[in-house]
Each structure stands twice: as structure tokens, then as C-alpha cells.
Amino acid sequence: MGRCFLKGNSHTFRLDGKLAVVTGGASGIGRAVAQRFASSGACVRVLDIDGNAKAYSCDVSQQDNVKAVFNQIFQEGRIHILVNNAGISHVGNLESTSEHDVDKIFCVNVKGMYNCMYASVAHMKEHGGGIILNMASIAGTSGLADRFAYSMSKGAVVAMTYSVAKDYLAHNIRCNCISPARVHTPFVDNFLRRNYPGNEQEMFEKLEKSQPIGRMAQPEEIGALALFLCSDEASFITGSDYPIDGGFMNLRG
């Protein structure tokens, strides 16, 4: 009788020897991605407007600031991976979204990702390739109530991802994006505290139940998918938008 053996591989999903830049890595999803990459062997550089001694303080919406920070990182060696995670959210429909709101969301969520890709892609070309992973959202491809500006920005992230993946295939640069549903981050807690004082737990449970799987994602789960897409095991994947949504897109209703 034949037997089947599953041989473990301790090198699966490793990033040893890779230099990875993670924007918005001081908290939430970005922090989870940075920690997961570091524990998998990568040398991680965090870019965040709330930087600390181990990070580069950087406003991704300002191109000069982004260029200066990337030039510093280039001195350390080749950048293999760029994770564009920095972003902000906004609640409101078309009529309740001001021009200022649109400009603010666009500058961070769209222009910020453009600035970081613009600063790094020539470097990646020069050094034989690289990996770009953008943080999108199901809001970019699915209708969500009261998320006009945010949805606009994340739809642009998906489109930019496809464009970069297409244009840089010949340069060995892979570009993908992740589209999470609701993730339990400090933003969620702060939103509930600000808008539903005294009823935070009740509203939290309501938000969790709106996910078909019955709960929000944890940042570490997004980090696990990010690790896979930036590893050598995902070398055949480019130009893809990966939903990680607890069934939100296909199992609602």
C-alpha cells in the first residue's frame, strides 16, 4: 500500500536577503506587513508620516519628500520590494464630500502611491527587477454606501496596478494589489469611539456581522497574503487584484 509524505519546507515564503519598503507601516495593516516581512528574513524600511527612530518619516503625498527618503534608502542597497500601504479613509456620499475631502484623499491614496512607485521603478529596472504590492480595497470594485471619495481612490489603485504590471513586464517587475474588506485596525476603533460614544461594542458587533464570514479580518491575515505575493512562490503572479474579504464580494445575500 502506497504512502504519501508531506515534506515541510522551512524556506517557504521567505524573504531572506531582500530589502523591503513598507509605507504607512507604523500601525494597522502596514505594521502587520512590516513585522511579517521582518520575521520572514527581510530587511524592512518603514515609511510613515508618524515615523520613529527605526523608520523614515515621510509624507507620501509630497514627491520631493518621497524622493529624498528613497534616495537615502538606495544608499543601503537594492530595493527588492515596495509595499504601498499608506492611505486614509473617508465617510460620505457624493453630496457630503467636499472638494477638500476629495483632494485630501487623492493626494494620499492615489498620488502617494504614484510618488512611491515613481521614485522606485527606475531603481528596480536598473537592478534587474522588483515587486510592487499596492493596498487597494473592495471599495474600489464594489459599491459601498457612504464611501464615495475612498472608493474613487481605491479604484484608481487597482487601475494603476494593472497599468504598471503591463508596462514593466519586460523589466521583471511584478505588480499586484490586495483588496481587503473590513479589517480591525485602530481606524475602526477610533471611528466607533468618535461616532458612537457609549455604543462602541454594539456597533463593532454589527460591523463584524456585515461580513459573511461573521468577523473582520485581522491585520496579520492581510500580512500573510502580502508575504506570499512578495515571495518567490508567487513569481508567476502579476497584474492581479487579490480580494481578501471573508466572502463579501460573492457570498452576500
* Active site (catalytic) residues: 150
Specify the residue for cell string 531603481: 123
Closest to 115 measured CA to CA, from 23, 240, 239? 23
Closest to 72 measured CA to CA, from 127, 126, 19? 19
